[in-house]
């Protein structure tokens, strides 16, 4: 399966999502993470040699793709309309991470409008969801569903362990932190939805 992670807004958890879904998919079958992000964050992580899955840049990714059962592609901020069509057609599932705030929601609506919708299998993943009693996550989910958009049932909670993991260069399940398993489960549940 080829999964591409893209969004019209930066800082919504694209790279975090791509890394954790690659880590989850690797528990099922050999997985390659293609780091198309210009800051090369995931490549920096793999350089520290602690990831369970293979990471490559886009050029290497093209050569390596056939060797892997699953491929997760991380993309830089805001593809233009043409790039979006190309990357959407080149994958089995387009994941659009979206934080539960007005700006990210507007960017997500715009992005889905830009997609050749009937030809593209996309799903929106709510990320960095603040804890209760804040109900921004539920409100965002309802707004997206009411607009007829495809949304993951599971969402990703806002947890400091994700930032710790990024600093240490590993997925959250490799961090010693009392929230590590709770954080990991968010992405494991999303991964299960992908695998159907
Ligand atoms: N669920 C989360 N909870 C808390 N912080 C998060 C979460 N997901 C991502 N972050 C942090 O938010 C920032 C942006 O995430 P990142 O994955 O780099 O976004 P993008 O690739 O879309 O720019 C990073 O500092 C990251 O560690
Ligand atoms: Mg990124």
User: In terms of Cα–Cα distance, which of 45, 3, 2, 8 is closest to 166?
Assistant: 45
pLDDT of 22 reads 97
Q: Rounded distance, CA 150 to CA 183, Å?
A: 23
pLDDT band (50, 70, 90) for residue 117: low
Look-up of token digits 């599971």? 154
Mean pLDDT of the chain: 92
pLDDT of 119 reads 80
Note the pLDDT tens digit of each residue in 87-107. Answer: 899 999 999 999 999 999 999
What are the structural domains of the chain?
Answer: 2-195 (3.40.50.300)
Kindly report whether the global pTM for this prediction surpasses the value 0.85. yes
Note the pLDDT tens digit of each residue in 42-92. Answer: 666 666 667 899 999 888 998 999 999 999 999 987 899 899 999 899 999
Say which range, 41-50, 52-61, 108-117, 181-190, has the weakest mean pLDDT. 41-50
Which ligand gives the minimal distance to the CA of 20? 1
The answer, yes or no, to whether residue 40 has pLDDT greater than 70, is: no
Q: Which residues share a beta bridge with 123?
A: 95
Note the pLDDT tens digit of each residue in 152-165. Answer: 999 999 999 999 99
CA–centroid distance, residue 15 to ligand 2 (Å): 4
- For 13-61, the DSSP string reads SHHHHHHHHHHHHHTTS-EEEEE--TT-HHHHHHHTT--SSEEEEHHHH
Nearest CA to ligand 1 atom 26: 163
With a 6 Å cutoff on the Cβ, whether 9 touches ligand 1 is no
Nearest CA to ligand 1 atom 15: 13
With a 6 Å cutoff on the Cβ, whether 158 touches ligand 1 is yes
- DSSP SS3 for 9: coil
Which ligand gives the minimal distance to the CA of 14? 1
Q: Rounded distance, CA 98 to CA 14, Å?
A: 9
Question: Which of 9, 12, 13 most suits a substitution to test ligand 1, by most atoms within 8 Å of the C-beta?
Answer: 13
With a 6 Å cutoff on the Cβ, whether 128 touches ligand 1 is yes
pLDDT of 116 reads 81
Q: Can you give the length of the chain in residues?
A: 196
Task: Copy the structure tokens of residue 193.
Answer: 């939805």
The total of other beta-carbon atoms located within 10 Å of residue 107's CB is: 20
- In this prediction, residues 111-138 reach a mean pLDDT of 93
Question: Which of 78, 107, 128 most suits a substitution to test ligand 1, by most atoms within 8 Å of the C-beta?
Answer: 128
Q: Which atom of ligand 1 is nearest to the CA of 37?
A: 21
CA–centroid distance, residue 14 to ligand 1 (Å): 7
């Amino acid at each position: 399966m080829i999964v591409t992670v893209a969004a019209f807004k930066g800082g919504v958890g694209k790279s975090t999502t791509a890394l954790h879904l690659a880590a989850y998919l690797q528990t099922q079958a050999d997985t390659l993470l293609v780091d198309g992000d210009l800051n090369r964050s995931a490549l920096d992580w793999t350089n520290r040699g602690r990831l369970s899955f293979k990471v490559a840049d886009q050029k290497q990714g093209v050569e390596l793709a056939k060797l892997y059962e699953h491929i997760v592609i991380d993309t830089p901020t805001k593809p233009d309309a043409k790039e979006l069509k190309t990357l959407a057609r080149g994958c089995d599932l387009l994941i659009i991470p979206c934080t539960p705030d007005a700006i990210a929601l507007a960017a997500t609506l715009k992005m889905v409008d830009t997609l050749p919708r009937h030809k593209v299998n996309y799903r929106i993943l709510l990320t960095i969801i603040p804890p209760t009693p804040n109900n921004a996550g539920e409100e965002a989910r309802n707004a997206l569903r009411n607009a007829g958009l495809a949304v993951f049932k599971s969402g990703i909670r806002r947890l400091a362990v994700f930032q710790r993991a990024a600093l240490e260069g590993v997925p959250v399940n490799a961090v010693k932190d009392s929230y590590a398993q709770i954080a990991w489960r968010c992405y494991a549940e999303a991964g299960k939805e992908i695998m159907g």
